[in-house]
Chains A and B, each alone.
Chain A
């Protein structure tokens, strides 16, 4: 399908394939048109900023490369573009290398130059260190079969490729040097929590923790760090917020499990969270007549079954479990949500559906 025509299906269907030159001209015109339209919007194709510094070294390298580089024949610059570029030549910006066509004998825009020059530019400044060249030295051989610029002249192409090769070598020896040392120049600050970032689905986010909770798989992951987060909105590096619902209270709360270090603390926190809500419920039910004088009843005995309510949780396998059996840190690593149930209803519930199935697998005729 031509890039030049609009999106009508029928005309393309019946069009004879235009000669390549005509097609290229069309595209060229369109680009010019497109670019002039952009100019009408007062777009300047100069570099957005001036923070990209360019040393003399890189400028020289860029000129070399731009002379030897092939021009992409069908991208002739508009006058406005060259105007802009002359302005930009004076300012320091790496992107100007792209449009400094004044040096270029062919007069075409060397849109290819940024690819090589940026490789140069970063590396010429760090030229000194040449560490062991990694396996990327295979790159040269493949480069010859995959040139970026599939254009006419072969001479310029070879030199282009060679330059790129050396750029690559420098680039990769440099970058391997950089990454070999966990250094301070790279920002290693924790990414701040952003909604929906990184773009992965919810069940991928809890992988590390859900596998580390199984005793069979050996994992050195610090369990406390990788607590499963129900909502990806919260940052998992600080604060583990899990939902907590209580029977009879329609609105749930959230608790930060990292704020507690024991079951007792959690239990009292739960008491605080819901005591008021429960009282409010009672108030509203009984039209607030009698209960204003009554003190809010404390919620106790959550952990030992002695109180009116009992604390249970849902673990990362989806089972409902009684809170308090496992060590605190193990609990924190597997808990997904909490629930405060009426103790009287405990027996009615199936605590952990796994029990049901284990029975059935025992019943099965096959082992």
Chain B
């Protein structure tokens, strides 16, 4: 390999695309490390506190696309206090002070301020793509800066962010010269939108492929937009409400017939079900359908709609579809690969919306299924065993029984065997979320069989430290482990401290781990940040025997972070 000039190596490395492969390449020898890092353009940082912007910039001077993740996953469920951290500002500052020509920034669970957005928009002449997922801390003022200053913006994708809406005028800030938009998603914005500006923007964006509107965009505007942009591939409707006998609705029906390219459909944040037939013609070609926000569509209408969607590969839906509806999905959507069923009534004591029967039906009808998120009222071992047999290709299996410690209602047994069957059968399983009544046995099975497992979410499960140890010992590829309300304590935490350096992070909340245990761990493993999150301010006087409310630890190159708030204590 020494005989190849660097350019040849670089050319070869061009074909190595995935982050992991490139990371592996860089470990081979110094030469490869150098060639790889100089030619690397896309970098993924799974934990923004694992390194510093300076390290990143020094190593990858050719960086064009950066992905950063901030808060731990359980922050999605309000388990992480508001000001915990995950600020993007230092990153943008450092990048803007460097010579890096950033073109794409993708952030997840980070705190983004308006000034960060503004700095971003002014610092990189070639900036093309901003994707913000589950972020917060900014307003439409920041969006206006992006719109106004990024002359070659191709993608502005806002997914499920908390954005303070100050006015709808940010859309007008796209200059008339901006014609490069390919993707625009503002579905999560809660406020009003300047509809005229939106229509004009669409009209001058011939490359627009993906457009997701928020609920402030009425059907008339949708009609106008589709007239201008029949080439759309991905559409998220805004408010889909109108009188089905109206002129506008009729026009919409005809316009939709021209939109032959739509493959992804979402939205319907507000919906008049009688207007749904207009979209039946596009259902035939849909590969992805997200109706998980469409609480206004009831089971029977959902079923009618889905009967048209024979080519569906991804379906996100509410549980009001019911088991019967899932049977229809199973018989219609033979190409289904990903299914998510969300609860429409999370706190209600309602009738069982979906149960194990729906899941088994899906597993029978959709053998290509590899990703599942399923919220249900109950689950049985027998059903899980059947699912495991029918769908051995699961990569992601996330089951959430709404009553977190519910046993198999038929046998009153824990669900250990059912999940055991899943991990045994699905050899490619990378992500698993457990729920229901579970003992240490399920963890033994996971440790024994789930060899490819990278992420495990545990809640209200297990009997003793053994459970956690089975997993830590057995799952060699484990990267993220998050545990809440389970009886794992110091023995489980401290038996194999070296393991945590092979993982990205560990979250434990409401477990049996004590302050003393965490201190011991922090002392033995200086390259981990062991953070204790204690909102009740007892840390100073607390004894080592005191149980820790929330602990989050992660490996890092840069030691304790300096932006931790008062209630976070890095040991």
Give the interface of A toward B (CB within 8 A). Answer: 1, 3, 6-7, 9-10, 13, 31, 34, 37-38, 41, 43, 45, 47-49, 52, 94-95, 111-112, 114-116, 118-119, 121-123, 126, 134-136, 138-139, 142-143, 146-148, 164, 167-168, 171-172, 174-176, 178-179, 182, 185-191, 193-205, 207-208, 210-212, 214, 216-219, 221, 225-226, 231-233, 235-237, 317-318, 353-354, 356-357, 360-361, 363-367
Contact = CB atoms under 8 A, between A and B. Distances in A.
Interface of B: 24, 27-28, 74, 76-79, 134, 160, 165, 167-168, 188, 190-196, 199, 215-216, 220, 224, 241, 269-273, 292-296, 298, 318, 323, 327, 342-349, 351-352, 355-357, 360-361, 364-365, 367, 375, 378, 380-383, 385-386, 388-392, 400, 402-404, 406, 408-411, 413, 416-417, 420-421, 424-425, 433, 439-441, 444, 447-448, 451, 457, 459, 463-464, 466, 469-470, 473-474, 476-477, 484-485, 491, 495, 502
20 contacts: A6-B476, A9-B24, A13-B24, A111-B448, A114-B417, A122-B411, A136-B364, A146-B367, A167-B382, A179-B355, A185-B409, A191-B403, A199-B76, A200-B375, A202-B78, A204-B293, A204-B342, A208-B344, A211-B271, A364-B196
A48 B440 contact: yes
A149 B363 CA distance: 18
The 4 nearest A-B residue pairs measured at CB: A122-B411, A364-B196, A217-B296, A171-B382
Given A138-B364, A167-B382, A318-B191, A200 B425 contact: no
Given A115-B421, A148-B389, A191-B347, 7 more contacts: A48-B464, A148-B421, A175-B357, A202-B78, A211-B294, A216-B272, A367-B220
Nearest to B360: A136
Contacts of A232: 77-78
A210 B295 contact: yes
A180 to B, nearest CB: 10
Which applies to chain A's interface (DSSP): helix, strand, loop or mixed?
loop
Contacts of A114: 417, 420
A225 B347 CA distance: 10
A49 B440 CA distance: 11
Contacts of A178: 409-410
Contacts of A356: 167, 192
Contact of B381 (A118, A146, A366): A118
A195 B344 contact: no
B425 A148 contact: yes
Specify which of A3, A164, A198, A202 lies most central, judged by the most chain B CB atoms within 10 Å of its CB: A198
Given A38-B469, A48-B463, A187-B406, A118 B413 contact: yes
Most chain B beta carbons < 10 A, residue from A38, A49, A207: A207
A242 B502 CA distance: 44
B473 A198 contact: no
A226 B320 CA distance: 15
Nearest to B294: A211
A133 to B, nearest CB: 12
Contacts of A48: 439-441, 463-464
A172 B346 contact: no
Contacts of B392: 146
B271 A217 contact: yes
Nearest to B475: A3
Given A135-B364, A353-B167, A214 B413 contact: no
Nearest to B457: A199
B367 A142 contact: yes
A225 B269 CA distance: 20
A359 B463 CA distance: 62
